[in-house]
Structure 1
């Protein structure tokens, strides 16, 4: 028996068909109709009706206007639970500890998961005072530095999917005016600095951890507070430079070519 014959013994046609659809849609902007999917894959449109229905019901595919099908971010969310993200948190720990010591501030690392920014690692401030967010906390995409950065460093289509998924669970929080223009500005300068919408006197300082494709796989954020009892503590802009440099190091660990990124240019 040849190697090809051996591999065909264990074929699962239905599974292959579903994977073919997911792989096809992953490379298409704007989605495809059922007929277009069939044409790309060289099959009859009727072969894909039930499979598309199941993928929609399970949340892997969404049906757009005009009977077009597009991927949701469910696969992306599942990927956040995979070992590479856990390794990223492990690699980040010593760098986040160094950042906390040099900036005198706490910091946290967040990823997008199923409609929210979720904290996967955090580092306490080295002294008495600091703002800390528990690991596992869910953070708003609309009014936090972490959320802004995670959205800013994604494509327009991915942003729309992330926002749609977020609004399913947080429809009481309205999207700010000129929000997409703000995200574009964040992407251009490479970081976000904004007053906290939750705590007076706190500034969210955030920068992206970039993957090999230049997309944000995580956001590194410092909830900056002015330490009146430590007059020699770094100012907010100095802390911002330290945080951007740390995010750059984490991006390099993740395989990103950050030499040409706006994060480096603007730091």
Structure 2
């Protein structure tokens, strides 16, 4: 039987633009004026104003002043629903907390979303280190252990696109920016099953990350342990790595990976 031609479903432009407005808000830019929303979306002021009025009425935005907007309570409600229904987060939460207790370091669960690393969940360690990432935050994938783990086990077309647009300006003196060097790292990560970041994104912070796979043996996420770089000696890394790989394997198993 011949294959039926695929029919692409057209997008609703107004919905797409409204979601684009919501995407402008982050934990670092929780409050935005109308002018900034226009700049970030590239939309005319009149259209942004109408879309914001619709989102206000629906509870997805609230006014923090006459001209500024913040996310509204409906977004929180959707987020809580997502937390309860997301099996990866619910499965990983207990084991991440246990890993943080065993290592004393912060543990973070990352996804690849829209060609960026997104922090899905985080557990703080007992150390005094303030690891500056919150749930929902995005970061570049190439300079981090978790990001490179996600790239190493992702589709090659996605990897090529991300590498083509990766930042060429280093975040620290240790950041690798040459595509050839990053590709070598990805090859090594696929071979050894984990990645290491030694102060490539932020001075003083080191991390080790491992992949998590689902029941189809497809990449689901990357689990990272992060802490102060001075503690991450070779012996310390080996100790952390053993616990990290064991935890990543347990979470993968609970997702159906055998």
| Residue aligning to 1:19 | none
CA contact (8 A) 2:204 2:230 kept: no
| Residue aligning to 1:186 | 189
State the TM-score, normalizing by the size of structure 1.
0.58
CA contact (8 A) 1:205 1:224 kept: no
| Residue aligning to 1:254 | 255
Cα 1:130–1:222 change in 2 (3 A) is farther
Distance 1:84 1:251 in 2: 19
Within 5 Å, which residues of 2 pair with 1:77-96?
Answer: 86-96=86-96
| Residue aligning to 1:220 | 223
Cα 1:177–1:161 change in 2 (3 A) is closer
Q: 1:218 Cα deviation (Å)? A: 0.5
Q: 1:181 Cα deviation (Å)? A: 2.7
Cα 1:54–1:245 change in 2 (3 A) is same
| Residue aligning to 1:41 | 3
Q: 1:54 Cα deviation (Å)? A: 5.1
Cα 1:85–1:198 change in 2 (3 A) is farther
CA contact (8 A) 1:107 1:132 kept: no
Unpaired segments ≥5 residues, structure 1: 1-38, 59-80, 229-233, 258-267
Within 5 Å, which residues of 2 pair with 1:11-30?
Answer: none
CA contact (8 A) 1:142 1:176 kept: no
Q: 1:256 Cα deviation (Å)? A: 1.3
CA contact (8 A) 2:149 2:210 kept: yes
Q: 1:175 Cα deviation (Å)? A: 5.1
Distance 1:89 1:175 in 2: 33
CA contact (8 A) 2:110 2:117 kept: yes
Within 5 Å, which residues of 2 pair with 1:238-249?
Answer: 238-249=239-250
Where 1:214 maps in the other structure, the secondary structure is coil
| Residue aligning to 1:148 | 148
Cα 1:158–1:85 change in 2 (3 A) is farther
Q: Which of the two has higher C-alpha Rg?
A: 1
State the TM-score, normalizing by the size of structure 2.
0.60
Whether 1:203 aligns to 2:206 is: yes
CA contact (8 A) 2:214 2:220 kept: yes
What do residues 124-175 of structure 1 show as CA deviations (whole Å, max 9, x unaligned)?
Answer: 01243353521111121111111100011123234335556xx2xx655555
Cα 1:175–1:142 change in 2 (3 A) is farther
CA contact (8 A) 1:108 1:123 kept: yes
Equivalenced residue count is: 181
| Residue aligning to 1:133 | 133
Distance 1:127 1:52 in 2: 51
Where 2:180 maps in the other structure, the secondary structure is coil
Unpaired segments ≥5 residues, structure 2: 17-80, 170-176
